[in-house]
């Protein structure tokens, strides 16, 4: 069984059309491909589906489901954002009935002096400037706030999948802003895991940051994977694919890593329910 539930397209910030990504998944012998373009946001941006294109997106994926039936199972999803001030209340809840699943993610951490929202993952300059303007330069406060948002999303919106749990580390290469070994950081992450343990949310092992050269490890970091295993939190694997090549990036290697940490099974979604896959 080979699968990926975190896949982007030209509807958002992906480089290939939906059908091209499906054909890529067939090429790499996938059984299941979930299309999960970034859902519309309540303000202008250049990396999510435009609200007026959402129906087109849904129809296209549904049509492609039928077209490739028997060759690969195509699932319809969205990656939806928890946003400062809005939380997830800006989302038309009727959308959930039209999807097979969705991924909940936190990208935004605050507003800059120009009253524009900034993200933790665009580049290091934006992150540093955002922390300076929104948190008076207090990195610990900013990182803690990021995990506060993750916790709130888990507790109040119950995402089926949690996207890139520790995305906050993306622009912290070589520990330029904080050290993951610091006690405060580890305690903050462990608190989040304890909340996830009480939920029905599945955490993803996401190879996207490493594929694009932002990180030397996957999301989440290896030490967090060990804590996830210790808590028996369900884990899935994803590529966070924005191009065809990324669909096949370190697929087997990521599974081998999980085995080395102690996992003997992962979870995949078949369109109706979560299933165990022994590795």
Instruction: Read off the tokens for 180.
Output: 């993951």
User: What is the pLDDT at residue 99?
Assistant: 98
Mean pLDDT of 239-260: 98
Cα–Cα distance, 188 to 41 (Å, whole number): 28
Q: Among residues of the chain, what percentage have pLDDT more than 70?
A: 100
The continuous run of DSSP H or E covering 126 comes out as helix 124-135
Cα–Cα distance, 166 to 78 (Å, whole number): 19
CA distances from 34 to 90, 163, 168, 257 (A): 24, 14, 24, 23
Q: What is the pLDDT of residues 83-137, one digit of tens each?
A: 999 999 999 999 999 999 999 999 999 999 999 999 999 999 999 999 999 999 9
What are the φ/ψ torsions at residue 15 (nearest 5 degrees)?
Answer: -100, -5
DSSP letters for 57-116: HHHHHHHHHHHTTTT-EEEEEEEEEEBTTTBTTTS-GGGGGG-SEEEEEE-EEEE-TTS-
Q: Among residues of the chain, what percentage have pLDDT more than 90?
A: 99
What are the φ/ψ torsions at residue 74 (nearest 5 degrees)?
Answer: -105, 130
Sketch out the chain's domains with CATH numbers. 3-278 (3.20.20.140)
- Name the CA dihedral angle for 219, 225, 231, 232, rounded to a multiple of 10 degrees: 90
Report whether 166 contacts 221 (CB < 8 A): yes
Average pLDDT, the chain: 97
Instruction: Read off the tokens for 9.
Output: 């397209």
User: What is the pLDDT at residue 258?
Assistant: 98
User: What is the pLDDT at residue 132?
Assistant: 97
The continuous run of DSSP H or E covering 197 comes out as helix 183-197
Rg (CA), the chain: 18
pTM of the model: 0.98
User: What is the pLDDT at residue 205?
Assistant: 98
> Sorting pLDDT into bands at 50, 70 and 90, what band is 46?
very high
Could you give the angle at which helices 54-67 and 18-27 cross, rounded to 10 degrees? 30
> Sorting pLDDT into bands at 50, 70 and 90, what band is 16?
very high
Q: What is the pLDDT of residues 183-236, one digit of tens each?
A: 999 999 999 999 999 999 999 999 999 999 998 899 999 999 999 999 999 999
For residue 37, the tally of other CB atoms under 10 A from its CB is: 26
Q: What is the pLDDT of residues 157-175, one digit of tens each?
A: 999 999 999 999 999 989 9
User: What is the pLDDT at residue 113?
Assistant: 93
């Amino acid at each position: 069984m080979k699968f990926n539930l975190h896949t982007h397209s030209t509807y958002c910030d992906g480089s290939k059309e939906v059908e091209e990504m499906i054909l890529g998944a067939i090429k790499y012998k996938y059984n299941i491909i979930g299309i999960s373009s970034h859902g519309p946001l309540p303000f202008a941006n250049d990396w999510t589906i435009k609200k007026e294109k959402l129906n087109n997106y849904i129809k296209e994926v549904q049509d492609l489901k039928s077209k490739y039936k028997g060759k690969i199972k195509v699932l319809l999803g969205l990656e939806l954002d928890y946003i400062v001030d809005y939380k997830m209340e800006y989302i038309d809840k009727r959308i959930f009935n039209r999807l097979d699943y969705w991924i909940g993610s936190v990208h935004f951490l605050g507003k800059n002096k120009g009253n524009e929202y900034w993200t933790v993952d665009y580049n290091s300059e934006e992150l540093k400037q955002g922390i300076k303007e929104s948190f008076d330069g207090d990195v610990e406060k900013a990182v803690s706030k990021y995990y506060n948002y993750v916790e709130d999303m888990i507790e109040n919106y119950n995402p089926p999948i949690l996207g890139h749990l520790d995305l906050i580390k993306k622009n912290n290469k070589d520990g330029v802003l904080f050290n993951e070994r610091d006690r405060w950081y580890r305690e903050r992450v462990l608190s989040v895991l304890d909340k996830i343990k009480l939920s029905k949310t599945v955490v993803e092992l996401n190879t996207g940051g490493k594929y694009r050269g932002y990180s030397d490890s996957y999301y989440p970091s290896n030490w967090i994977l060990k804590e996830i295993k210790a808590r028996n939190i369900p884990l899935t694997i994803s590529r966070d694919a924005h191009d065809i090549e990324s669909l096949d990036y370190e697929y087997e290697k990521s599974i081998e890593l999980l085995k080395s940490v102690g996992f003997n099974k992962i979870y995949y979604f078949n369109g109706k329910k979560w299933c165990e896959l022994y590795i």
